[in-house]
Structure 1
Amino acid sequence: MSQSTRILFALVAGLVAGVMLGGFAPTAIDPVTGVAQPIGQAWLNALQMTIVPLVFSLLVTGVAATAEAAQAGRLAGRSVGLYLVVMASSAALAALLTPLFLQLAPLPGVSAAALRNALTGVGPNPAIPPLGEFLAAIVPSNIVKATAESAFLSMIIFALIFAFALMRIEAELRDLLIRFFTAVRDTMLVVIGWVLWVGPVGVFALALVVGARAGGGAFHALVHYILTVAAVGVVVTLLAYPMAMLGGRVSLAAFSRAVLPSQAVAVSTQSSLASLPAMLAGARTLGAPVATAGVTLPLAVALLRATGPAMNFAVAIYVAHWFGVPLSPGTLAVGTVVAMLTSLGAVSLPGTVSYVSSIAPVCAAIGAPAAPLGLLVAVETLPDIVRTLGNVMWDLATTMTLARGETGRRDEADAMLEDMA
């Protein structure tokens, strides 16, 4: 049984046990939740303690890898530019689609209120500062203080400045620092693996409290959450088809056939890396030169997270809506940028591993609480399938677009040589 499946079963078991406790032994709710609540909160704290060092190291290593890829050659540079445009567009789509879906199919007020009252560790929403104060606070006067207070936007700005400055120093020193932050990143991933190993205990405790206090409405709310976030991911995923048709000049039928084996691997493994051989075969079937696909597809697996910004931002917007946090256009714009940047440094691992570290900074940027993520991570299995499916399809669609561009450039060069001759 996979780790994500164990956590999902623990969630269902905890909710069922909590609902039964509330229905058959209401007098025991307070004593039982008094024991379960600290256990669940301790597990959530353990998950959150890795966020700051992991996000910082991911941004530094992610920017370094992106910069090195862009400098590796013209094709790699064009690939990186296209990936950044796709990821920015993905986050912007979430800012438009998620509020729309929540208006079309809103979460019932009773369920939302019950869940708000049931979740522990959620303080009052912070007051939104005036625009001038917000802009001034983006650049921190004390990065250590800002990091300690989980001011993720300030930390991200500093991490980006640090990473870009890192690319300008002596190569030997640059490699040393990149290796250091790579070691920090990998160490934090090991710690997260340990925390997730005991995740069934923590999730069961959190779900028990929620089930006892919120009743059966908790199930409805979680299903509503899964469908809303997955719907945003599905829209982004489906846009890979017109991208391949318009950018890569391939027919819908041909692209659908070529991407089908990759889709099967993506659904079964939830890993873009495992889908790479099938994607290479699909690109060859569609006529992409081996020299092009051999560069762009591994680069896409390493850097492109087409569905990540959209679905991460959708989760943050959902939590904000859930807890009544107002979202202005300016707030959504900030969230769009943070969602893209945090996805840029994300690693090719199942969503349960990088879930909190990728979404907590986005929640902080728009003023939404991060505590609900400890419960929502338990139902990440289905959304993670959509994430991986979309990433694989966009990897192949962008490869065909880049291959078409390379072919066009070669044709232009050949024509110029003929004219000169």
Structure 2
Amino acid sequence: MRRLALHTRVLIGFVLGSAAGALAFWWTQQGGDAGAVNGFIDTVAHPAGLLFLKFLKMLVLPLMFSALIVGITEIGDIASLGRVGLRMLLYIVVVTSIAIAVGLCVINLIQPGVGFDPAIRDGLLAAHSADAQAITATKPTLSGVKIILGLVPDNPIKAAADGDFLAVMFFAVMLGIALVLRPTPATAAFKATVQGLLELVMKLMELVIKLTPYAVAALMFTLTARFGTDILGKLGLYALCVILAIAIHMFVVLPLWVRVFGGMSPVKFFKGSEEAILLAFSTASSTGTLPTTLKVAEQNLKLPPQIARFVLTIGASANHHGTALFEGLTTLFIAQCFGVDLSLSQQLMVVGLCIIGSIGTAGVPAGSLPVIAVILGYLNLPPEAIGIILGVDRFLDMCRTSLNVTGDLATAVVVSKHSDDAALPPGHERVSSSHAA
């Protein structure tokens, strides 16, 4: 096993964990000892997967902070940094809008909520009422002004303690810019300290990532042993719409984008990204996958480290193609369930709200649900209606997180392709020697 590439071992762990979990679920359905299976899940499989996630999350904040500062100082020029940032912002808005449009087209064509049995709808609402109320109690405010104001932390230390990654990243960007503008012996010493922190975190990340195949196996066993392979239930057509829209964006839109604007073969892109995509699917956390995403970007895809660190670190909290697609599609599905036919202008409003909401969505499991609750309120639908889809959200969350991470890596490829002004360190080659666009 140790002679195999890490992404191959991750795939093996994914398949073995899923198969073993499905077998355990089948065994309990045939009269096997469900207590023994649940005991193994509660004492071995789930804690093992959770411990791995906690290790990753422990590294995320120092990794984001140090990688952003070092990336900005390695770019070394404020004008170049501005061009990279503007390109990234433009790509995020355009490609996220395409993702939402794909979701809206699929849901409008298939219309899984039209004629949805009111008895089933009310039953789903009743079954998940407590969880739905907990989600609506934490719903954010979808205001562009408030999001901008929220970027600037009153207290960076408190923002870090609260897990406000966007505010922490803004503070790191400001420090990086100041280091570029103020090259003194003291600031050079601070930069060396941050560089040292990044190297230590990367080393810890290297050690933790070696556990990925076992953690993925444990996480997939936990999921399939508890819910089986048939976890879609009465919402199968809706879930199919989500999966279809994600597949179209992930395997049609993004490969075309990477090929035409990034100058990279889609086969090379997916082969190099496989490890991060599988981990994202298993953990349903974009931020938790960030250490692995950075590793595959630099080592497998051979992207310039300063560009990869800047784009992927920000992208983990602000570039969520899958989340935006899911929010728009789910909003229309719930509206269909209540017999509400949204006009074109209302659907365009949903697109705008989804773009804003996806930027502020936490890169953690189920982070998009509070945003959907807010959008439902704007459409005069009950926010608690989010309870309709909670039964299948765990699996769909895994799917959309995979798209989020794939979109981050695709963005890094395209930004790297068009960032000729950023010097490459030795040992890293440009994605392509000629511009495709």
TM-score bracket relative to the smaller structure: 0.5 to 0.7
Alignment coverage as a number of residue pairs: 344
Tell me which moved more, 52-61 or 308-317: 308-317
1:265 matched residue in structure 2: 268
Q: Is 2:13–2:213's contact at 8 Å kept on the other side of the alignment? A: no
Change (3 A) 1:215 1:266: closer
| Structure 1 partner of 2:208 | 191
State the match for 2:382 in structure 1.
Answer: none
Aligned in 2, Cα 1:372/1:300: closer, same or farther, shift over 3 Å?
Answer: farther
Provide Cα deviations, 1:251-299, integer angstroms capped at 9, x if missing partner: xxxxxxx75xx3343343435556768xxxxxxxxxxxxxxxxxx9676
Question: What RMSD over aligned residues (CA atoms) do the two structures have, in Å?
Answer: 5.6
Deviations 1:31-62, CA, capped at 9 Å, x for gaps: 64354256454245324424654332343234
Superposed displacement of residue 96, structure 1: 4.2
Stretches of structure 1 that go unaligned for 5 or more consecutive residues are 245-257, 278-295, 343-357, 408-421
Change (3 A) 1:389 1:145: closer
The alpha-carbon distance between structure 1 residues 360 and 54, as it changes in their structure 2 partners (threshold 3 A), is: farther
Determine the structure 2 residue equivalent to 1:14: 21
Are positions 1:85 and 2:90 aligned together? yes
For 1:336, the aligned partner's letter is S
**Contact 2:72–2:306 under 8 Å retained in 1:** no
> 1:206 is matched with which residue: 219, 223, 234?
223
Q: Which residue in the other structure is 1:346 paired with?
A: none
- Answer whether contact 1:39 1:205 (CA < 8 A) is retained: no
1:235 maps onto 2:240 in alignment: no
Give unmatched runs, 5+ long, in structure 2.
1-7, 180-186, 274-295, 336-348, 374-385, 423-429
> Which amino acid is the alignment partner of residue 332 of structure 1?
C
Question: For the Cα contact (< 8 Å) 1:4–1:378, is it kept in 2?
Answer: no
Alignment correspondent of 1:398 = 418
In the aligned structure 2, how far is the partner of 1:301 from the partner of 1:162?
16
In 2: Cα distance, 1:336 partner to 1:220 partner: 24
One-letter code aligned to 2:418: T
Secondary structure in 1 aligned to 2:135?
Answer: coil
* 1:200 CA displacement: 0.8
Q: Verify the 8 A CA contact 1:10 1:201 in the aligned structure 2.
A: yes
> Quick one: which amino acid aligns to residue 2 of structure 1?
R
For each residue in 1:315-372, what CA deviation from the matched residue of structure 2 results, as whole angstroms up to 9, or x when unmatched?
86499779979x9667534433347xx9xxxxxxxxxxxxxxx555954873799999
Q: 1:237–1:393: 8 Å Cα contact kept in structure 2?
A: no
Post-superposition CA distance 1:366-409 (Å, at most 9, x none): 37999999867987998699659945873686369999xxx9xx
1:173-188 pair list within 5 angstroms = 173-184=190-201, 186-188=203-205
**Quick one: distance in 2 between partners of 1:185 and 1:336?**
28
Map of 1:158-173 to 2, 5 A cutoff? 158-165=168-175, 167-168=177-178, 170-173=187-190
- The alpha carbon displacement at 1:98 in A equals 3.4
Aligned residue number for residue 60 of structure 1: 65
TM-score normalised by L of structure 1 = 0.57
1:336 is aligned to 2:353: no
Give the share of equivalent positions with the same residue, in percent: 14
Superposed displacement of residue 3, structure 1? 0.9
Asked if 2 retains the 8 angstrom alpha-carbon contact of 1:147 and 1:155, the reply is yes
- Secondary structure class of the residue paired with 2:178: coil
Tell me the TM-score normalized by structure 2.
0.55
| Distance across 2 between alignment mates of 1:141 and 1:73 | 25
Matching of residue 2 in structure 1 with residue 22 in structure 2: no
Q: In structure 1, what is the equivalent of residue 323 of structure 2?
A: 313
Distance 1:267 1:242, change over 3 A: closer
Shift of 1:7: 1.4
- In 1, Cα distance between equivalents of 2:16 and 2:395: 12
Map 1:221-232 onto structure 2 (within 5 A).
226-232=243-249
